[in-house]
Amino acid sequence: MTAQKEHPDARRKMPPLVMIGTPREVGYIRELPGEQDRKGQLMKRKKQAMHILKYVHLRAALPLTLLMAAAVVFSACSSATAQNTGEIEGEVTTGVNRLYGQPLLEFDFMPSPFKEKFGFEMMGVYNPEGPDPLPLTALTPDDAVLASLVDGQGVGLPQAIFQGADPSLSNVPLRGIQAWVLPPNLQQRAALPGHLAGPVTGPTQAEPSGPITKGDWFKASGTLAFDCAPDGNKISIAMKALVPNRIYTVWSLWMDPSGPGSFTPLPLGGAPNSLVTDANGNATFERQLNFCPTDAARVGVDGKRLAIIDAHLHSDHTAYGAIPAPIAAGFPPGTVIQEHLSWDLGAGKRR
């Protein structure tokens, strides 16, 4: 057998391979030693390869970049949606922006002292031994009977309204607050007996008609749900364990930062804004709104801010249209109405 001659280049050590780009994008070249002109070309192609690599990496990263950007946009849109749709739990109060005589919220956009002290107490503990009710505090026993109160230290209404009130309107058990009755004239007011023990042909109040205690008052709860959308704004409030078989009204309290410290209560969703609780004290209030509650609280509408939404018991069994209480007739807040639940929309900060 004739031996096959080995090619003279067979044992020559092959030069290293130099990658240009990536296997998918470009090929390989072989560096030939001893050829300076080709080395210059090689360096040039290396630089070109670096540009190709940058392009390849950018092109590979672009879909991921777009995906991340889309995620950020989607997240932002989701957050915006969450801000315009949600639920807020109410809290039991003893007055407008009051719990046990102390402010619940502070409104930084208002001037002092309105900013720190806005609100007024609307009830106390019935005091059979004197003309004024006792202070209602966290230490007050649950069986204490609640009574009307005229708060002479309140901030938000002219002091003359409270100071000029008839003293007999204060320290009246909530079940004993007088209501308007027909005979013998339209100006007569009287405490109404419970219906079961009262006269068949005379005015009475619905049962139960026994005393309202602190324990009864603080059983209440309420969830406010709102939905703000381009096709309309809606609000729904589900309330539980209020005073059974009684009239309540729901209000939006607006503040004017440009004024000396003024606020305006308006019927939420328009008048009538009243409801009657069932035998268990439960009720639902639903309305369409011409504003978004959270936007109105945090940004404002027509220069005013929505401070709170609240629900008032009308202990005199009478609703007064577009005003909470007949102040002009001598009945300031706390004498015929008492705030029971309040919803914080974000205008103020917790104290």
Per-residue pLDDT of the chain (351 residues; tens, 9 = 90+): 444 555 444 444 444 444 444 433 344 334 444 445 555 555 655 565 555 445 444 454 545 554 454 444 444 444 444 448 999 999 999 999 999 999 999 999 998 888 999 999 999 999 999 999 999 999 999 999 999 999 988 888 887 788 788 999 999 999 999 999 876 666 789 999 999 999 999 999 999 999 999 999 999 999 999 999 999 999 999 999 999 999 999 999 999 988 655 889 999 999 999 999 999 999 999 999 999 999 999 999 999 999 999 999 999 999 999 999 999 889 999 999 999 999 999 999 998
pLDDT, residue 47, reads 62
CA distances from 174 to 16, 229, 301 (A): 99, 41, 36
Q: How do residues 201-229 score in pLDDT, each as one tens digit?
A: 999 999 999 999 999 999 999 999 999 99
pLDDT value at position 45? Answer: 57
The answer to whether 297 and 257 have CB atoms below 8 angstroms apart is: no
Report the pLDDT value the prediction gives residue 237, as an integer from 0 to 100.
98
Cis link prior to 63 (omega < 30° from 0)?
Answer: no
Are 115 and 88 a contacting pair, CB within 8 Å?
no
Residue 152: per-residue pLDDT: 85
d(CA 202, CA 193): 9
Q: Which two tokens stand for residue 229?
A: 């959308």
pLDDT value of residue 301: 95
Q: How confident is the model at residue 42, as a pLDDT?
A: 52
Residue whose C-alpha is closest to residue 97's, from 160, 171, 155, 158: 155
Cα separation, 331 vs 94, whole angstroms: 18
Contacts of 180 by beta carbon, 8 Å cutoff, 6+ apart: 186, 188, 189, 316, 318
Write a three-state SS string for the chain.
Answer: CCCCCCCCCCCCCCCCEEECCCCCCCCEEECCCCCHHHHHHHHHHHHHHHHHHHHHHHHHHHHHHHHHHHHHHHHHHHHHHHHHEEEEECEECCEECEECCEECEECCCCCCCHHHHCEEECEEECCCCCCCCECCCCCCCCCCEEEECCCCCCECCCHHHHHCCCHHHCCCEHHHCCEECCCCCCCCEECCCECCCCCCCCCCECCCCCCCEHHHHCCCEEEEEEEEECCEEEEEEEEECCCCCCEEEEEEEEEECCCCCEEEEEECCCCCCEEECCCCCCEEEEEEECCCHHHHHHCCECCEEEEEEEEEEECCCCCCCCCCCCHHHCCCCCCCEEEEEEEECCCCEEC
- What is the tens place of the pLDDT at every residue in 137-196? 999 999 999 999 999 888 888 877 887 889 999 999 999 999 998 766 667 899 999 999
Burial class (CB in 10 A: 0-12, 13-18, 19+), 43: exposed
What is residue 113's predicted lDDT score, i.e. its pLDDT? 87
Distance of CA 4 to the CA centre of its chain: 94
